[in-house]
Amino acid sequence: MGRILQYEKKYIGIYSGTLCILFAYMVLFFNEMKEDQLLILGISMIFFVFLLTIVLYHFKYFDRINIFITLKYINLFSLGILFYNENIFILVTASLCYIMICIELILTLFQEDITKRNRMFFFTFVPMIICSFVLWFAKDLNWIQLLFLIQFSALLFGIYKIIDLNGDEMREKIADGIKLWESSQHSNQELLSTQNEVKIAYQQMEKQKMDMEQTNKTLNRITSEMYIQNELLRYIGSTLELDQLMDLVTDSIIGAIGVDTCSLIIHNVEQDKYYFKTKTNYNVDIEQQLKNALSEGNLAKYFSEKNSHIDSYVNTSDYPFIQDRPVGSLIIIPLIRNNSIYGLLISEHASTGFFGETNLQFFQSIATQINIAVNNASLYTRMEEMATKDGLSGLYNRRHFQKMLVDLFNKIKEKGTMSVTMFDIDKFKNVNDTYGHLFGDEAIKMVSRIAQKYALLHGGFAGRYGGEEFVIVLPNIGLRDSVEIMKNMHNELKKEPLYYNRDRLVYINISIGVTAYPDFGTSAEDLLNRADNAMYYSKDHGRGKITVDDINLNE
């Protein structure tokens, strides 16, 4: 039935053009035609049937052959009414449309058997003959019109024979083609059999190729993983810098494993400080996203669960730290030391299902090597601190402090400024004698904590110079500003209580001496001596006060 719709679509296009011309003719000569009621009836039926054809075509009613044939016969009857009109234009138009509908019926039923096709063709004469006889009795038709009917019938018959003969030739060619096709089937069977054998061999080769590619990928992955592990082991033995270690880990994983993003977070428990390192293929500040997630508590879950986390089908809304980048697979490995989590190793890939069991084993082995490196770095840091810092106060010891002071002085002596403040705890011997040495240690810790606070707050450093003596150095701060800072520190320290036996409050005081370069002093040692003299001036003149260096102070 698709062929009927195809022919009908072309017919509607051609027929609509013919009817447009007919409609234009009616508009121009309506006054001459309006008296001929039979003409008006015929033309009205033609237009009605055409509109009905368009509607039925649109709703695909032509899938039913009976509706299609019935509509065409109604159309032929409508045209037959106009056959004997005296108007030549109307007669020619009706004849052309009649021929066009007959051709459409013949072509539509061309594939039917010959008996049905011939019967259908002769039925195309019926509307013309019936209309002719009716008009003959209703009107006085002449023999010329009868001859026109005969001539027109002959024309239709000729058109049918031409189409039928052409169809016979086509059917013969099709039959010859079928015979040729059937004769080639036997040889084709052998060809198909050979083709199937080649196809099977090709499939086997493809499978072997895929297996080899998979094996090659596995070997490459294992080689890359071994390379990374060897690099980490070599690095662990050659350096103790945490930042460089984090750089190596993230660089190696993103380069060798092929992930899109690798992040490493390490928590320094002693300093309560987090270190972040991220390498990514995207132009996104992932490190800041991780910092935000940490501060908002969105990473707390992974810092509390000791099991590795793998998500092969990531929904980014589940991970607040994944923004502005495609992530299909995610793996999070906890870094564990002394049975507590101190860091996370995070890797991402845009594809789903990227991480598997083999990847998990690799990342866990990397985590183990990171643990070794971090432990070595922590041990080294503690040993270094023992060599540079005072064990009780946590401040720089005298030897290291003096080295730092000399380095700073050499750096700023040409056109810089710095201040040096020295102070000690008033009547510290009485404190030890009255409350004991353990309480005295607590006093030293409290003073050290406040001194360190003010030193770091203003970009300087503090040291324990002797038993109860302390020094603060503030670079790029002059004498006047330094005195104001020391006043604030002094006031805070005097108000800080120490508890003796949990129920008795004890307050301590300090004597302070302040000097500054380039106002005074010509060397680092000279500055220390002047600050020491100013401090002793405070002790000798009532204690608990600040003495500012003066040119006459040492005289």
Phi–psi pair at 69, nearest 5 degrees:
-65, -45
State the burial class of residue 414 (Cβ atoms within 10 Å of its Cβ: 0-12, 13-18, 19+): exposed
Closest CA to 127 of 166, 94, 159: 94
pLDDT in tens, the chain (555 residues): 556 556 666 666 677 777 777 778 777 777 777 767 777 777 777 777 777 777 776 776 655 667 777 777 777 777 777 776 777 777 788 778 888 878 777 777 655 566 766 777 777 777 777 777 776 666 655 666 667 777 777 777 777 777 777 766 776 776 776 777 777 666 667 777 777 888 887 788 888 778 777 767 766 666 666 776 666 666 655 555 777 778 878 887 787 678 899 999 988 877 778 889 999 999 989 999 999 988 898 888 888 888 889 998 999 888 988 888 999 999 998 988 888 888 999 999 999 988 877 777 778 887 887 777 777 666 555 555 556 788 788 889 888 899 999 999 999 988 899 999 999 999 988 988 888 889 888 999 999 999 999 999 999 999 998 889 999 999 999 999 999 999 999 999 999 999 888 778 889 999 999 999 999 988 999 999 999 999 999 999 989 999 998 877 655
Q: Look at strands 261-268 and 340-349 and give their pairing.
A: antiparallel
Residues 6+ apart with CB under 8 A from 256: 224, 225, 227, 228
The structure's pTM equals 0.41
Residue 189 C-beta-side C-alpha neighbours within 13 Å: 4
CATH of 398-548 given 3.30.70.270, 3.40.50.970, 3.40.930.10, 3.30.420.40: 3.30.70.270
Residues facing 396 on adjacent strands? 389, 463
**How many CB atoms sit inside 10 A of residue 520's CB?**
20
**How many CB atoms sit inside 10 A of residue 9's CB?**
11
Residues facing 472 on adjacent strands? 421, 462
Residues of the chain by 3-state class (helix, strand, coil), percent to 5: 65, 15, 20
Phi–psi pair at 35, nearest 5 degrees:
-80, -20
- The tokens of 37 are what? 């009621």
| Domain segments of the chain as ranges | 2-141, 239-387, 398-548
* Alpha carbon distance 249, 228 (integer Å): 8
Q: Is 334 helix (H, G, I), strand (E, B) or coil?
A: strand
Q: Rg of the chain over CA atoms, in angstroms? A: 53
pLDDT digits (tens, 9 = 90+) for 411-443: 998 889 999 999 999 998 898 888 888 988 899
What is the fold of 239-387? Beta-Lactamase (3.30.450)
Phi–psi pair at 262, nearest 5 degrees:
-135, 130
* Alpha carbon distance 233, 365 (integer Å): 11
